[in-house]
Structure 1
Amino acid sequence: MWIGTSYALAAGLMWGLVFIGPLLLPDYPAALLSFGRYVAFGLIAVPLAWADRAKLAQLSRADWLEAARLGLIGNIVYYLFLASAIQQAGGPLPTMIIGTLPVLIALASRLRERGRGDAALGWTQLAPSLLLIGAGIACVNQVELDALRAAPAADFGRYAAGAALAVGALLCWTWYPIRNADWLRAHPDRSPRAWATAQGLATLPMALAGYLGWMLWASFAEPAFALPLGPRPERFLALMFAIGLFASWLGTLCWNAASQRLPTALVGQLIVFETLAALAYALALRGDAPAPATLIGAALLVAGVVWALRTPRGLRLA
C-alpha cells in the first residue's frame, strides 16, 4: 500500500511539470509542444528498450496495439488538449478542471467494476475520501475563479475555449489510467518499466508523423514561424526532453508501479498529487504566495488521500 502510494506521489510530482511547459513557451503552438514532447519521449525510450529487450519481446501484437492506443489518447491527444487549454486560459483554469480527475476516475472505476461483478471498494468506503477531495478542489477552484474575475483584461471567450479544451483533456485522462491499470492488473508478471518503454516506442511514430505533418502545414499557414524548432530552439529542446524523460517515461513508470499495487478506484484518487504539484509549480512560476483558501483546499485534498489509505485491508486489495 505505502510503496504503491509513494510511486503515485513520485508520478504526480513529475506530471505536474507538464502544466508549466506551455507557460514557459507561450509563443509555441500547442500541437508542436505535444508532438515535440512525445517525439522526445519516444527517442528516450529507444535506448531504454535495449535494456528491456527480453521483456519487450514477451509482448504480443495485441499488447503493442494497446500501447499504441494508450499512447495516442493518453499522451498525444491529452497533451494537445491540455497545452491548448493552458495557452487559451492560463495555468489555473485547466489545472482546476483536471483536478476533478480523482473523483471522476474513482467513480468511473467503481461503476465499471460493479458492472463486471468484480470485488471493489464500496461506496461507503469511497464516499468520505471523495467528499474531502471534492471540497478541497472546490476551495482551490474558488480562489482561481476569483482571480480570473478580477483580471481587468480577462477574455472570457478564451477562458471558455480553454475550459472546453481542458474538459477534453479530462476525458482523455479519465480513460487512460483506467485502461492502463486494467492491462497492468491483467499482467502482474510484466515489468512496469518495460510497459512504460513500450508506450514510448509505440507513441514515437505517431508523434513523429504529427510533427512532420505540422511542419508541412506551418510552412504554408505560418511561414514566419522558425522551423523546425521554433524561435527558441535551445529552450524548446531542453524542455521537451526534460518533460519527455521525467513526466512521460519516469512518471509513467512510477504510475505503472502504483497501478500494479493498488485498486483502480484508489489509485485514481492519488492523481490528486499531480493537481497539488501543478498548482505549486504554477504559483511558484507566477511568484504568488498561496491564498488561505488554497492552503485549506490543499489540506483537504491530502486529507482525502490519507482517508483513502485507511480503507480496511480486505477492501484495499479488491
Structure 2
Amino acid sequence: MCTGILYALAAGLMWGLVFVAPLLLPGYPAALLSVGRYLAFGLIALPLARMDRAALARLGRADWTEALKLAAVGNLLYYLCLAGAIQLAGAPLPTMIIGTLPVVIAVSVNLRDARRDGRLPWLRLAPSLALIALGIACVNQAELHAPDAAAGAGRLQGVLLACAAVACWTWYPLRNADWLRRHPERSPRAWTTAQGVATLPLALAGYLLLWPALRAAGAGFPMPFGPQPLRFVALMAAIGLFASWLGTLCWNAASQRLPTALAGQLIVFETLAALGYAFALRGHPPGPLALLGIALLAAGVAWAVRIRPQPLPA
C-alpha cells in the first residue's frame, strides 16, 4: 500500500508539468502541443521497446488494440482538450476541474468494480469526497476573482474542454486498471512502453495532417516547430519523457498495488503539483482561500488512504 501511494505521488508530480507547458508556449495550437508531446513519447518508447522486446512479444492482437485505444483517448484526445482549456481559461480553472477526477473516478469505480475490488463504504468515503470537493470549490472561487482570470466566452469554452478532458481521463484509468489487474504477471514498464509505441503512429499521422491544415487555414504559423523551435522541442522532450513515459510507468505500478477507487483518488496529487507549478510560474504564492482549498484537498486524500475496501458477499 505504501509503495503504491509513493508511486502515485511520483506520477502526480510529473503529470503536473503538462499543465504549465501550454503557458510556456503561448500562441501554439493545442493540437500541435498534443501531437508534439506524444510524438516525443513515442520516439522515447522505441529504444525502450528494444529493452522490453521479450515482454512486448507476448502481447497479442487484443492487447495491442487496447494499447491503441488507451493511447488515442487517454493520451492524444485528453491532452488536446486540456491544452486547449488552459490556453482559453488559464491554468488554475482547468486544473481545478481536472481536480474533480478523484471524486468522479471513486464514484464510478464504487458503482462499477465493487465486486472485483471490494466496496469502499459510502458513509466512510463521503467525508473524503466532501473535503476534496470543498477544496476544489475554494481554489476555484479564489481563481475566479484573480486579476488575470480569463473572462467571457474563452472561460466557458475552456470549462467545456476541461470537462471533456475529465471524461477522457475517467475512462482511461478504469480501462488501464482493468488490463493491469487481469495481467498481474505482466510488467507495468512493458505495458507503458507498449502504449508509447502505439501512440507513435497516431501522433505522427496527426502531425502530418496538422501541417497542411495550418497552412490551408492561413494562420501563418511556421512549421514544423513554430516560432520558438528550441523551447518547443525541449518542452515536448521533457514532458514526453517525464510526464508521458515515466509518469505513466509510476501510475501503472501504483495501479497494480492499489484498489482502483483509491488509486483514482490519488490523482489529486496531479492537481496539487499543477497548482504549485502554476503559482510558481506566476511568481507569487496562492492567497488564503486557495491555500485553504489546497489543505482541504490534502486532508481528503489523507482520509481516503485510511479506508480499506470491504469485500461483497458472494
TM-score, structure 1 length as denominator? 0.94
**Greater mean alpha carbon deviation, residues 247-256 or residues 215-224:** 215-224
Q: Does 1:83 align with 2:83?
A: yes
What is the correspondence of 1:1-318 to structure 2 with a 5 Å cutoff? 1-114=1-114, 119-147=118-146, 154-222=150-218, 224-312=220-308
Deviations 1:69-89 (A, max 9, x none): 000000000000000111111
- AA matched with 1:32: L
SS at match of 2:145: helix
Sort the Cα spacing of 1:34 and 1:312 in 2 relative to 1 into closer, same or farther, 3 A: closer
- AA matched with 1:130: L
SS at match of 2:113: helix
Structure 1 stretches of at least 4 aligned residues deviating more than 6 Å after TM superposition = none
- AA matched with 1:75: N
Measure the CA separation in 2 of the matches of 1:282 and 1:91. Answer: 7
8 Å Cα contact 2:38/2:203 also seen in 1: yes
TM-score, structure 2 length as denominator? 0.96
Alpha-carbon shift at residue 128 of structure 1 (Å): 2.0
Alpha-carbon shift at residue 218 of structure 1 (Å): 1.4
Deviations 1:207-242 (A, max 9, x none): 100000000111221362111111111110000010
Alpha-carbon shift at residue 308 of structure 1 (Å): 1.4
- AA matched with 1:265: A
**Greater mean alpha carbon deviation, residues 272-281 or residues 127-136:** 127-136
Measure the CA separation in 1 of the matches of 2:11 and 2:116. Answer: 30
Measure the CA separation in 1 of the matches of 2:249 and 2:297. Answer: 24
**Greater mean alpha carbon deviation, residues 197-206 or residues 127-136:** 127-136
Gaps of 5+ in 2: none
Measure the CA separation in 1 of the matches of 2:308 and 2:217. Answer: 58
Q: How much identity, in percent, do the aligned residues show?
A: 67
**Count, aligned residues:** 311
Gaps of 5+ in 1: none
Alignment root-mean-square deviation, CA: 1.5
